[in-house]
C-alpha cells in the first residue's frame, strides 16, 4: 500500500513539474511556408455553365453591337429591373453613407493617399466604373443603358476597359500603353454578350486586384495571386480545395454586394447563419459561417479570445503573402523629378515593381507584411474633400474607431499605407489635381504641379490659394483576405512574449499574460501564491504518507 502510494505521489509530482516546464517553455515558431502563387494575368477558366438559359440562342443578343450601351439595352429587354438595381449600388454611385454617422464617403467624396481622387480624372478612373460615359461632372446617373452589365458578367476574358475611355471597352484595336509595342484587341461584343455568367474572381479582380494602378498595390490582401490561389495563400479560395469565388462570401441581393470595407462587421456575435432564416447581419464575416465560438471544446480557451480578438488577427498572420507584394508608401512629392538628361524616367525595384516614375513619384513595396494591430469597431471617419487638415501632423485619411471599453471593438490586423501628397498651404485642405489626359493642365503630360492643382480644384469647386506643399498622410485598411490554414495561424508565443512584447505590444487597454508589460508586483505575488500552494500540496501529501506509514 505504502509503495503504491509513493509511486502515485511521485508520478503526480513529476507530472506537475513536467506540465510547469511545458507551460513555461516557448514553443518554436511555426516554420513559414514560403510557397507562393506566381503572379497571374487575369484569365478565365471556362467551366460548364449551370445556367438554365443559353444566351447564345437569344435573338436579342444575335447582333453586331457597336457599343456597350447597345448591349445593355438588349440585356434590359429581359432583365428589366437590373439597371435600376445597379444604380443604387456603390459600384455605380461611387458613394457610401456611414449608417452610424451619416458621413458621405466613397471614391467620389474622399481624397486617398494613392491616386488621390477621380475628380477631373474621370476618363481614366472610370475604367473601373460599372458604367459607360462618366467623363466629367455632367454624367447622368439615371440613364439605364449606361450601366455596364458585361464588366461583371463576362466569361470570355476578352472584355477590357482601359484608362482614357470613360468606362467604355476597347472598340478599336490599339497600342497600350502607348509606345509599348503591346496591343489590345477590339472587343467582340456579340461574343461577350452571348457568353455571360455569374461574376467570377476574374471579374471582381479585374478592378479590385489592381487598385491604385498596379497589381496588389492598394489593399495588401488582394492581388492577382488570388486568381489561382493555393491553400497556403487562402484556405477558402484554394483552387484545389474549397475554391470560393468572391461572391461566396460577398453574397449579393438585388446587385447589392455585401461586405464593403466602408461597413466592416468588426465584432459579430452569435452562432453561424442558418439557411432560410432571416438574418440581417453581414454575411461577409467569418462568424456568418463559423459562429463566434469556432474552436472545439478542448480548445475553449481560444474561444474566450473572440471577446477581444478578431478572427483575422490570428488567422491572417501576414498579408501580401506572395511575390507580388503591396505598396507601403507613395511619395507624390517626387513626381516631376526628371533624370540627368532632363527627361522623365521610370525605375523598377529588384522584384520588377514600380519604384519611381516622373509622372507619379516614388513607391516602396513589401511582401509578407506583418500587420499593424489596433482596436476597431467597424467605423472609420474619413477625410472628405474640403476638410481642413493640420499639416504639422501626419494627416489621417481615415480615423479608425474603437477602444478597449467598446463592446463592438475587437483587435484587428490592419494595413497602414503611408503617403506624402499635395495640400493647399493657405486653405489647409488636401488638393485635387488633374493628372490623366493629354491636355495642357494634366500633370502626367506637362509635369506642372501648379497647373494640375489649379485645374483639379476648379473641377471640384474648391478654392485654391496658389500655394501648395506636401504633407504626410496615413490610410488604414482592415485586413480580411488571404486567410491562412489553421496550422499557419499565430502561435501563443507570438503574442504572449515577455521578451519582445509580442505582436500586440502596441495595443493598449488589455491584460495579456506573458506580454511583459503587466504589473510586476502583482505577477510576483501571484507566483508566490502558486508556489506556496504547491508546497502546501507536497507537505500535505508527505504528511499523509507519513501517517499511513505509522499506521502500517
Residue 373 DSSP one-character state: E
Report the interhelical angle of 520-551 vs 2-24 (nearest 10°): 170
Cell of 52: 438554365
> Locate cell 474603437: which residue?
402
Write out pLDDT tens, residues 56-91. Answer: 999 999 999 999 999 999 999 999 999 999 999 999
- What's the distance, Cα to Cα, between the start and end of the chain in Å? 9
Q: Is 413 helix (H, G, I), strand (E, B) or coil?
A: strand
For residue 230, give every residue at least 6 positions away whose Cβ sits within 8 Å of its Cβ, in sequence order, or none. Answer: 35, 37, 238, 239, 240
**Ranges of H-type helices in 293-448:** 300-305, 311-315, 443-446
SS3 content of the chain, % helix, strand, coil (to 5): 30, 15, 55
Task: Give me the count of residues in the chain.
Answer: 552
The model's pLDDT over 343-394, given as tens digits with 9 standing for 90+, comes to 999 999 999 999 999 999 999 999 999 999 999 999 999 999 999 999 999 9
Residue matched to cell numbers 503587466? 518
Phi (first) and psi of residue 188, to 5 degrees: -95, 95
Q: Provide the β-strand partners of residue 375.
A: 411
Cell numbers given for 487: 496550422
C-alpha cell at 50: 449551370
List of residues 6+ apart from 504 with CB closer than 8 A: 373, 411, 495, 510, 512, 515
Element (H or E) spanning 536, and its range?
helix 520-551
Per-residue DSSP letter, 324: S
- At 166, list the grid cell: 470613360
Q: What are the C-alpha distances in Å from 498 to residues 22, 148, 291, 413?
A: 16, 55, 31, 21
Contact partners, residue 175, CB within 8 Å, separation at least 6:
181, 182, 183, 184
Owner of C-alpha cell 482592415: 478
514 sits in the region (left: phi over 0; alpha: psi -120 to 50; else beta) called: left
Per-residue model confidence as pLDDT tens for the chain (552 residues)? 434 444 444 444 444 443 333 333 333 333 333 333 333 444 444 566 778 899 999 999 999 999 999 999 999 999 999 999 999 999 999 999 988 888 899 999 999 999 999 999 999 999 999 999 999 999 999 999 999 999 999 999 999 999 999 999 999 999 998 889 999 999 999 999 999 999 999 999 999 999 999 999 999 999 999 999 999 999 999 999 999 999 999 999 999 999 888 888 888 888 898 888 888 888 889 999 999 999 999 999 999 999 999 999 999 999 999 999 999 999 999 999 999 999 999 999 999 999 999 999 999 999 999 999 999 999 999 999 999 999 999 999 999 999 999 999 999 999 999 999 999 999 999 999 999 988 999 999 999 999 999 999 999 999 999 999 999 999 999 999 999 999 999 999 999 998 899 999 999 998 888 777 767 788 788 889 999 999 999 999 999 998 888 765
Q: What pLDDT, in 10s, does the model give residues 416-457?
A: 999 999 999 999 999 999 999 889 999 999 999 999 999 999
Residue 416, H or E segment: strand 410-424
The per-residue pLDDT for 551 is 65
Burial readout 94-106 (b: 16 or more C-beta within 10 A, e: otherwise): bebbeeeeebebb
Which of 361, 457, 343, 494 is CA-nearest to residue 418?
Answer: 361
Looking up cell 489626359 gives: 437
- Distance from C-alpha of 356 to C-alpha of 339, rounded to nearest angstrom: 11
Amino acid at each position: 500500500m505504502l509503495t503504491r502510494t509513493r509511486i502515485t505521489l511521485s508520478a503526480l509530482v513529476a507530472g506537475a513539474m513536467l506540465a510547469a516546464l511545458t507551460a513555461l517553455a516557448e514553443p518554436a515558431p511555426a516554420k513559414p511556408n514560403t510557397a507562393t502563387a506566381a503572379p497571374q494575368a487575369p484569365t478565365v477558366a471556362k467551366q460548364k455553365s449551370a445556367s438554365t438559359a443559353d444566351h447564345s440562342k437569344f435573338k436579342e443578343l444575335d447582333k453586331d453591337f457597336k457599343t456597350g450601351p447597345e448591349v445593355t439595352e438588349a440585356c434590359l429587354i429581359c432583365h428589366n429591373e437590373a439597371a435600376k438595381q445597379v444604380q443604387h449600388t456603390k459600384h455605380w454611385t461611387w458613394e457610401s453613407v456611414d449608417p452610424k454617422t451619416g458621413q458621405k464617403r466613397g471614391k467620389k467624396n474622399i481624397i486617398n493617399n494613392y491616386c488621390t481622387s477621380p475628380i477631373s480624372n474621370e476618363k481614366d478612373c472610370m475604367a473601373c466604373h460599372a458604367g459607360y460615359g462618366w467623363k466629367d461632372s455632367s454624367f447622368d446617373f439615371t440613364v439605364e443603358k449606361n450601366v455596364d452589365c458585361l464588366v461583371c458578367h463576362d466569361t470570355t476574358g476578352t472584355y477590357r476597359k482601359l484608362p482614357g475611355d470613360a468606362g467604355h471597352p476597347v472598340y478599336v484595336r490599339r497600342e497600350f500603353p502607348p509606345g509599348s509595342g503591346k496591343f489590345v484587341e477590339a472587343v467582340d461584343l456579340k461574343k461577350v454578350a452571348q457568353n455571360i455568367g455569374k461574376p467570377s474572381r476574374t471579374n471582381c479582380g479585374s478592378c479590385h486586384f489592381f487598385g491604385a494602378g498596379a497589381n496588389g498595390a492598394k489593399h495588401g490582401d488582394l492581388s492577382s495571386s488570388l486568381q489561382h490561389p493555393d491553400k497556403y495563400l487562402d484556405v477558402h479560395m484554394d483552387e484545389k480545395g474549397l475554391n470560393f469565388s468572391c461572391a461566396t462570401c460577398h453574397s449579393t441581393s438585388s446587385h447589392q454586394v455585401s461586405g464593403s470595407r466602408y461597413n466592416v462587421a468588426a465584432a459579430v456575435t452569435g452562432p453561424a447563419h442558418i439557411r432560410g432564416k432571416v438574418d440581417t447581419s453581414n454575411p461577409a464575416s467569418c462568424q456568418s459561417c463559423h459562429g463566434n465560438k469556432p474552436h472545439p471544446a478542448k480548445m475553449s480557451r481560444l474561444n474566450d479570445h473572440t471577446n477581444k480578438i478578431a478572427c483575422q488577427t490570428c488567422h491572417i498572420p501576414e498579408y501580401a503573402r506572395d511575390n507580388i507584394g503591396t505598396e507601403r508608401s507613395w511619395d507624390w512629392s517626387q513626381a516631376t523629378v526628371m533624370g540627368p538628361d532632363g527627361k522623365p524616367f521610370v525605375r523598377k525595384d529588384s522584384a520588377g515593381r514600380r519604384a519611381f516614375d516622373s509622372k507619379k513619384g516614388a513607391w516602396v513595396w513589401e511582401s509578407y507584411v506583418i500587420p499593424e494591430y489596433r482596436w476597431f469597431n467597424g467605423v472609420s471617419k474619413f477625410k472628405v474633400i474640403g476638410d481642413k487638415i493640420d499639416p504639422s501632423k501626419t494627416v489621417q485619411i481615415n480615423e479608425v474607431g474603437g477602444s478597449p471599453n467598446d463592446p463592438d471593438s475587437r483587435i484587428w490586423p490592419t494595413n497602414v499605407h503611408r503617403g506624402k501628397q499635395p495640400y493647399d498651404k493657405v486653405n489647409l485642405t488636401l488638393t485635387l489635381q488633374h493628372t490623366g489626359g493629354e491636355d495642357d493642365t494634366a500633370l502626367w503630360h506637362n509635369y506642372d504641379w501648379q497647373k494640375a492643382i489649379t485645374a483639379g480644384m476648379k473641377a471640384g469647386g474648391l478654392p485654391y490659394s496658389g500655394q501648395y506643399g506636401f504633407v504626410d498622410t496615413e490610410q488604414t485598411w482592415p485586413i480580411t483576405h488571404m486567410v491562412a490554414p489553421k496550422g499557419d495561424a499565430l502561435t501563443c508565443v507570438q503574442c504572449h512574449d515577455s521578451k519582445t512584447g509580442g505582436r500586440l505590444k502596441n495595443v493598449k487597454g488589455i491584460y495579456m499574460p506573458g506580454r511583459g508589460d503587466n504589473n510586476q508586483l502583482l505577477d510576483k505575488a501571484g507566483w508566490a501564491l502558486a508556489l506556496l500552494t504547491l508546497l502546501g500540496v507536497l507537505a500535505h501529501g508527505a504528511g499523509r504518507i507519513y501517517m499511513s506509514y505509522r499506521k502500517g
